[in-house]
Structure 1
Amino acid sequence: MEALRQELLAVFDAEYRDHLRVVRDILAGGAVEGRAVSEIFRRVHSLKGAARVVERADIETIAHALEGRLFRLLEEHRPAGADDLAAIGAAMDQIDARMQDAPEAAEPGGAARDEGGAGAVADGSGADSYVQVPASRLDALVGVVQDMMGIAERQDRLWADLEDLAAAARRTGPAGDPAAELARLTRALSALSHERGRIAGQADRAMMRLDEEVRAVTLVPAGTVFGSLSGMVRQIAREHGGGEVTVRLLGMDVRADRRVMQALRDPVIHLLRNAIVHGLESADRREAEGKPARPVLTLSVRMLGVRLLVSVCDDGRGPDLEAIAARAIRQGLMQPDDPRLPETLLALVFAPGFSTRAAADRLAGRGMGLSVVAEAARALHGTARMEAGQPWGTVVTMAVPVSRRQRTTLVVEAGGMTIGLPGRVIERLARVRQADIRMADGRAYFTLDRRRAPAGEAGGDAALVPVVPLAAFLGRPEAALPVHGGALSVVVLGMADGGCCAFAVDRMLEVRILHVSDAGAVGLDSALIPGVGWPRGDRPVFVLNPDTLLERWRKAGATGGHFDGAADAAREARAPARRVATVLVVDDSITTRTLQKTILQTHGYDVLLATDGVEALSLLHRSPRRIDVIVTDVEMPRMDGFALLDAVRSDPGLSRIPVVLMTSRNEEADIRRGLDGGARAYVTKQGFEQGELLDIIRGVL
């Protein structure tokens, strides 16, 4: 019975969040009357019944009281007034707070209560958890399973044919011709081998589709994990003596791996609690500084390249750098004469035991909250960062990969990029001599023995395999077959029809298990490159979708394999050396910087990197290289993109350099400000494509 109760509680947890989300969306939509009142009534009634089933009398009581109020509105055909709206919102907050504090919520995952008294949120590893799945996803999963069942039937028939062949061989008497019988058996086995190859290829693709569909099911909107925190935050603020606060939730429709979102939930609660303790100010002080009377806490979720960014922002007093420095000196984290750079000081707050509060209470002061945040981000292969808000307050951002999926991947270099190919689709790796490549009808081929010949028989199952440079599908359509040491390194991919094709690469690096993020890389072809892995440092591995690669290979007519001719090489040797243009990329996101660098270097540009406007100006003045164009983000610490643009335009030594603003800010006022300030182009990241950036850079040079 206890197991059943825990399962029902897990289902109820998902159900109550859905009801509260819908009710809050209705309240945020404006006037509440007619159908809106009826929908809220229905949701509250369902919530009351579900609470009764799981024996949550406290939730049932709150829902029952609200249900009576809503029933009177419906009976009298009245819209919800200000008092009614306040009562509905307060009831939602009470339910939310009680569910957050419920001991039952922690028990299934084995999570204990923390020092602050708030229930730690389990990551779902210890008990069943539930997600809502669109019917279209279920249909897709059913389709893939049916395909796999069909493949299993074909495999059963293959084994049956093999058994029939073995039985026929046993029935053959000594009177028969042994040579003829051996030839017949060889042909039959060869046919079965081809069929086995086709079945294996189809099974591989079905497994990949199943993997994609299952991963799509695990992607959930941020609101399903974070949407219920607003009520808890308002309740904590009241208990802490801060009165009413406004909680803004942004980006709740962003989808990411449920496990990643759930792992971030507890750190987010720490950050929200920390914002209340350290950020709330008295009404008199807020009025004196021109702030809104009610404090505002913002929880935002957004995608940036292959990273999920979760930020908590308050509009309070902001980081006290002097208090941080004093505490760091007392703890031995820095020396009194060390430079007190803001970014250095703000990185220290994530050290275990670090707190600027003089005394601890039930919410904060022990210095563990921010260290928990940093550790959670590191566990997800991400980072945590604090910065001063604009124009006031504090912002703490966790940046983590979108998913924690692992995949066995062959890592190669092609066209100046580090590329990953899923191991399941690779039929063979080969080293082919240039002399063994044959050209026919604009295609390059080599001979591949797909099986060894039987003993005593000449030859084998040889096939002509077309080979093309992988770089030709990575933005370099004129790429030649890369020859190193008189030979090509080729990756042979099997196709669903039993055939195969080969892609030549510059180098094969390694086979390894990568953590692959489920997101289209900024500026890259998301259909061809649906994921990015980060094996080391900040150099990404772009993991290809082999089905898309093969589809584009077919559309190209399997052409593109050619060698650079000697005449071309001699002509290039005689040509004067052409100076490579240098692009300065300025962005505080390591992901965006790295991806833009890869794109530009792939297309022949020299690239310098800066993390903000201050560092960019320093490079512009100190670098011995001539910088030809600046591509900069807008939102950056210390000096943003608009300030950098002004500084460049006002400096006679720099004013000739064209500046391209590339940012997620797409408001008309921002675009006008950038172009009026002298930017040569303003690119928004939401609709950004690789070709657009390259065209713009070619146009301004």
Structure 2
Amino acid sequence: MDTLRQELLGVFDAEYRDHLRVIRDILAAGPMDARALGEVFRRVHSLKGAARVVDLSDVEGVAHVLESRLFRLLDGHQEVGADDIAAISAAMDQIDAYMQDAPGPEETAPVPDVASGPGAAPPRDDGGGSYVQVPVARLDALVGVTHDLLSAAERQERLWADLEELVAGARRAARPDMATADPAAVLARLTRGLATLGRERGRIAGQFDRAMLRLGEEMRAVTLVPAGTVFGSLAGMVRQIAREHGGGEVTVRLVGMDMRADRRVIQALRDPVIHLLRNAIVHGQESPERRQEAGKPPVPVLTLTVRMVGVRLLVSVADDGRGPDLEAIAARAIRQGLMQRDEPPVPEKLLARVFDPGFSTRGEADRLAGRGMGLSVVAEAARTLHGSVRMEAGIPWGTVVTMTVPVSQRQRTVLVTEIGELTIGLPGRAIERLVRVRQADIRLVDGRTYFPLEDRRDPTAIGQAEASLVPLVPLATLLGTPDAGLPVHDGAVSVVLVAVDGLHCGFAVDRMHEVRILQISDAEAIGLDSELVPGVGWPRGDRPVFVLNPDTLLARWQAGGGTGGSFAGAGGTAGPAAAPVRPPTVLVVDDSITTRTLQKTILQTHGYDVLLATDGMEALSMLRRSPGRIDVIVTDVEMPRMDGFGLLDAVRSDPRLSSIPVVLMTSRNEEADIRRGLDGGARAYITKQGFEQGDLLDTIRGVL
């Protein structure tokens, strides 16, 4: 159960953030009408139920109190006043505060390891316990790519069958009893057949290439999450810090929260951003009188902005306070021996000093600032993500600190090689084998270099294995040195045989170092083609590894006139599998992802197939598309668009669906609701208070 709880906490973390984001958007939109109030009430109700599932009683208590207040407003058709808005906002901040201290999933958001040095890779995050929300359109695109790949695989199977048939025809023509056949006609027929198969193989390879390119793009997009999923909860935290520090209020503006970036990058930036926000509160404070004299708003404004420039993510924290004190920074730098007294105070150099460890212009330390570590932690985090940070004076006032980092971080298994002064990484997925070729074995055919590779079978060969000639190309010729010769060391050449979709080529390198897992950044390699070198890996140390795209590598080689051998892999077919007996299918309908996950886990553990729907409308659509597939429906009552009672009525009134048993499972335990459900045709009514999984399993077994 501990594993299940950790999983549910991860789901709840995503769910509560989504609820708070929507509620805050409604508050920011202006006066609330009845419809907006109803949406807030529904989300608070779902939040309360989800918190109960994961046993977060503090969050459940806050949501319960707010739900009661909202219910009185709805029931009495009252207008939402300023006090109500303040209460909703305060409750959101309180839930945020509780969640900062709540026990989270075992795998928490990665935080840069500032003790591991500037060359360290960000902490490994394999996603355990973390969840992201994926748009349905993105899933549809992935399904489309999968269909394209399956189609290409079917075409390749047919191509292989046609090739075998052609080989069989050649064997028949070679038999003694077929000697009367016209050899020229036989050869012409075989030639036409091979040409046709060659063209089809090219079309299949193109389909695979396009599908794999789309698949890579879609998978990268799935790993991108809106910045608001991580930074959206910081506004309440900052307001609380401001109240605790000086007793005043602060306005927090979040800009660009819909900007999408790699989840691990956004998570790794969370702590540095908190440092910057705290620093802005401490160092940007001004008295109300001084703000009034300067023509500033009476309440200080902090702005967190996320934007994208190329493949770089820019995260800025700006305040409208007094701005950086260059004189104080210069004085501190002189006392620490970081600059000479007669050195001209260049603003850019002075502002770069604030990121040095132990540097602070604050006279005395408190629990928020003054020890000179906050900004150095920010700088170290940026460097760990292979980025940078800078401070500048705001316009017309205040201070702006901007972190610039690659938009994504990915882990890849790569072969690390050396080519001249460059360290090049080749993804392991495309490497067929590593070969050490003696100089004496290299062949020159029509002005091109080849090397023999044994133990490869030609699919048209009749009996024995043959050594095949494989093109051999210095990898340096595709990296900006077109006249590079083969790098011969100790009488031999180190060759990496790269294979993608039937295309093979051996690329010669100076040295092969090791195979290792690297964190890959979407960073442009200056002086190299970003299409060929889409990412940079950073092992421990300062020397980057430029990671190549093997598809682009082979395409560039082929476009330059390369003629490679085409080797088909050994194929095989499997007999049809016996169709298993279909287990019962349960449709779970609930707008809370935490509740859906809990019920799905329980039911799947006990052998049921489970389908999920977020409300009655989606469930009804699924039922009408495949009425014979679903054996029982377990539905919540309080849901958007169509609630559980509406779904129950729709199922009972449809002759194709009326035989499917419906179980209502909800936190509404009033006798009138129970009676309404049972009178409406529900086979059972389960309340979520004191929920036991045995009750759900016994109920489903009883209605099937």
TM-score, normalising length: structure 2: 0.56
Find out whether 1:438 has 2:441 as its counterpart.
no
* CA distance in 1: counterparts of 2:474 and 2:499, whole angstroms: 17
Q: Pick the aligned partner of 2:414 from 408, 419, 431.
A: 408
Find out whether 1:324 has 2:329 as its counterpart.
yes
Please provide the CA RMSD for this pair.
5.0
Matching residue's letter, 1:104: P
Q: Specify the SS of the correspondent of 1:375.
A: helix
Q: Pick the aligned partner of 1:448 from 451, 474, 491.
A: 451
* CA distance in 2: counterparts of 1:263 and 1:515, whole angstroms: 14
In the alignment, what sits opposite 1:37?
Answer: 37
* CA distance in 2: counterparts of 1:249 and 1:522, whole angstroms: 33
* CA distance in 1: counterparts of 2:109 and 2:552, whole angstroms: 43
Find out whether 1:236 has 2:230 as its counterpart.
no
Q: Specify the SS of the correspondent of 1:20.
A: helix
In the alignment, what sits opposite 2:19?
Answer: 19
Q: Specify the SS of the correspondent of 1:52.
A: helix
Structure 1 contact 482–488 (Cα < 8 Å) conserved: no
* CA distance in 2: counterparts of 1:24 and 1:433, whole angstroms: 73
Q: Specify the SS of the correspondent of 1:391.
A: coil
In the alignment, what sits opposite 2:537?
Answer: 533
Residues 458-479 of structure 1 show CA distances to partners (whole Å, capped at 9, x for unaligned) of x9733344567878977x8xx9
Structure 1 contact 413–419 (Cα < 8 Å) conserved: yes
Q: Specify the SS of the correspondent of 2:103.
A: helix
Aligned residues: 482
Once the two structures are superposed, the pairs formed by residues 159-558 of structure 1 within 5 Å of their partners are 218-241=223-246, 243-401=248-406, 402-403=408-409, 405-411=411-417, 420-426=425-431, 427-428=433-434, 436-439=443-446, 445-451=448-454, 461-466=466-471, 482-483=484-485, 492-497=497-502, 499-502=503-506, 513=516, 514-518=518-522, 528-533=532-537, 542-550=546-554, 556=559
Structure 1 contact 221–255 (Cα < 8 Å) conserved: yes
Structure 2 contact 320–398 (Cα < 8 Å) conserved: yes
* CA distance in 2: counterparts of 1:546 and 1:252, whole angstroms: 34
Please report how far the alpha carbon of residue 320 of structure 1 lies from its aligned counterpart in structure 2 after TM superposition. Answer: 1.2
Matching residue's letter, 1:400: V
Matching residue's letter, 2:362: R
Please report how far the alpha carbon of residue 279 of structure 1 lies from its aligned counterpart in structure 2 after TM superposition. Answer: 0.8
Please report how far the alpha carbon of residue 232 of structure 1 lies from its aligned counterpart in structure 2 after TM superposition. Answer: 0.8
Q: Specify the SS of the correspondent of 1:450.
A: strand
Structure 1 contact 489–508 (Cα < 8 Å) conserved: yes
* CA distance in 2: counterparts of 1:485 and 1:521, whole angstroms: 24
* CA distance in 2: counterparts of 1:542 and 1:126, whole angstroms: 23
Please report how far the alpha carbon of residue 538 of structure 1 lies from its aligned counterpart in structure 2 after TM superposition. Answer: 8.9
Structure 1 contact 306–522 (Cα < 8 Å) conserved: no
Find out whether 1:56 has 2:56 as its counterpart.
yes
Q: Specify the SS of the correspondent of 1:286.
A: helix
* CA distance in 1: counterparts of 2:388 and 2:403, whole angstroms: 6
Residues 508-532 of structure 1 show CA distances to partners (whole Å, capped at 9, x for unaligned) of 6866755421467799876654323
* CA distance in 1: counterparts of 2:103 and 2:397, whole angstroms: 39
Structure 2 contact 417–512 (Cα < 8 Å) conserved: yes
In the alignment, what sits opposite 1:104?
Answer: 103
TM-score, normalising length: structure 1: 0.56
* CA distance in 2: counterparts of 1:79 and 1:432, whole angstroms: 87
Residues 463-501 of structure 1 show CA distances to partners (whole Å, capped at 9, x for unaligned) of 344567878977x8xx9564468999975422333x513
* CA distance in 2: counterparts of 1:85 and 1:311, whole angstroms: 29
* CA distance in 2: counterparts of 1:453 and 1:282, whole angstroms: 80
- Structure 2 regions of 5+ residues with no counterpart? 112-121, 158-207, 458-463, 564-704
Q: Specify the SS of the correspondent of 2:313.
A: strand
CA 1:103 to 1:66, structure 2 compared with 1: closer, same or farther past 3 Å? closer
* CA distance in 1: counterparts of 2:549 and 2:123, whole angstroms: 30
Please report how far the alpha carbon of residue 248 of structure 1 lies from its aligned counterpart in structure 2 after TM superposition. Answer: 1.9
Structure 2 contact 302–318 (Cα < 8 Å) conserved: yes
CA 1:12 to 1:284, structure 2 compared with 1: closer, same or farther past 3 Å? same
Structure 2 contact 355–376 (Cα < 8 Å) conserved: yes
Residues 611-635 of structure 1 show CA distances to partners (whole Å, capped at 9, x for unaligned) of xxxxxxxxxxxxxxxxxxxxxxxxx
Structure 1 contact 520–526 (Cα < 8 Å) conserved: yes
Please report how far the alpha carbon of residue 296 of structure 1 lies from its aligned counterpart in structure 2 after TM superposition. Answer: 1.7
Matching residue's letter, 1:367: G
Residues 529-574 of structure 1 show CA distances to partners (whole Å, capped at 9, x for unaligned) of 43233579998654332234445666x4x7268xxxxxxxxxxxxx
Structure 1 contact 109–126 (Cα < 8 Å) conserved: no
Please report how far the alpha carbon of residue 323 of structure 1 lies from its aligned counterpart in structure 2 after TM superposition. Answer: 1.6
* CA distance in 2: counterparts of 1:538 and 1:104, whole angstroms: 37
